[in-house]
């Protein structure tokens, strides 16, 4: 897990020149341990909300 975090931090710093985790870079963050169906529903619901705002 530390290796993945280090890789993410390096990627974000290299391409976006900001500290990771920088929450404002993301539209949505999900804890995938809540289950696949719940994650998919959350993503679909979020997309519908975002599309309604456009």
Task: Give the pLDDT confidence of 12-44 residue by residue, as tens digits.
Answer: 899 989 887 777 778 888 999 999 999 999 999
Task: Output the pLDDT for position 2.
Answer: 73
- Buried/exposed code over 26-36 (b: 16+ C-beta within 10 A; e: otherwise): eeeeeeeeeee
Tokens of 19: 């500290």
Is the pTM of the predicted complex or chain greater than 0.85? no
- What pLDDT, on a 0 to 100 scale, did the predictor assign at position 53? 80
Give Cβ neighbours of residue 11 (< 8 Å, ≥ 6 apart): 20
- Angle, vertex CA 27, rays to CA 38 and CA 13, nearest 5: 120
Q: What integer pLDDT is reported at residue 1 of this predicted model?
A: 66
């Amino acid at each position: 897990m530390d290796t993945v975090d280090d890789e993410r931090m390096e990627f974000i710093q290299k391409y976006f020149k900001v500290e990771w985790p920088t929450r404002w870079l993301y539209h949505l963050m999900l804890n995938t341990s809540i289950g696949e169906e719940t994650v998919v529903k959350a993503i679909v619901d979020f997309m519908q909300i975002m599309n309604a705002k456009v």
